[in-house]
Structure 1
Amino acid sequence: MTVQQIEKFIALHPKGASGSVTISFKTRKNVQGVFIQTPDYEELKKKNFWRIVMSPNLDDYIRTKSLSHARIFNGLEFSKLSIP
């Protein structure tokens, strides 16, 4: 997916129905997570990279705000974004 497609989805569904988004990939299993905005968000976005906290790690991330709970994904690997 392109940066514009991902930005449009995030703008239309900023938190999703349950706070998370289902991300479908071209070459791996789907994941559920939340896009997070960190100080490097704009820099990563320019390169079509996105920092995502997976649903199982979300409570720990909310409690600690530690970026160790997040992973960076390349938007070109996304095939579809949807609300679970």
Structure 2
Amino acid sequence: MTNVQIEKFVQQNYLDKTPVKVSFRGRKPIVGIFISTPDYSELKAKNFWRIVGELNIESYRKSRDMNLARMFSGSEITKLSAP
């Protein structure tokens, strides 16, 4: 997917809030939240996204620790949907 497609979906009340099912090309889908970090604009321009997996969402919401997120390339994402 392109960064424009992903941003349009994420900006619909999903950024830092609601978990999303993210399907990938060549790997299993994950459920997680897209997070906004100080480098969000720079990463978005390069089609990279920080996603906190569902196992770490509660810890992230308490601590806001960016290290709980993993970075994914938007070109590997095939579909975004509400879980």
Q: Shorter-chain TM-score category?
A: over 0.9
Q: CA RMSD in A?
A: 1.4
Distance 1:8 1:63 in 2: 27
Partner of 1:43: 42
Paired residue for 1:6? 6
Give a deviation string over 1:1-53, Cα, whole Å, max 9, x none.
001110111123x238x810000001100000000000000000010000110
Kindly, what percent of the aligned residue pairs are identical?
A: 49
**Where do residues 42-81 of structure 1 align in structure 2 (5 Å cutoff)?**
42-81=41-80
TM-score by length of 1: 0.91
Per the normalisation by structure 2, the TM-score is 0.93
Give the paired residue count. 82
Q: What is the CA–CA distance in structure 2 between the aligned matches of 1:82 and 1:68, rounded to whole Å? A: 24
More helix by share: 1
Query: Structure 2 regions of 5+ residues with no counterpart?
Result: none
Q: Which runs of 4+ in 1 moved over 6 A?
A: none
The unaligned stretches of length 5 or more in structure 1 are: none
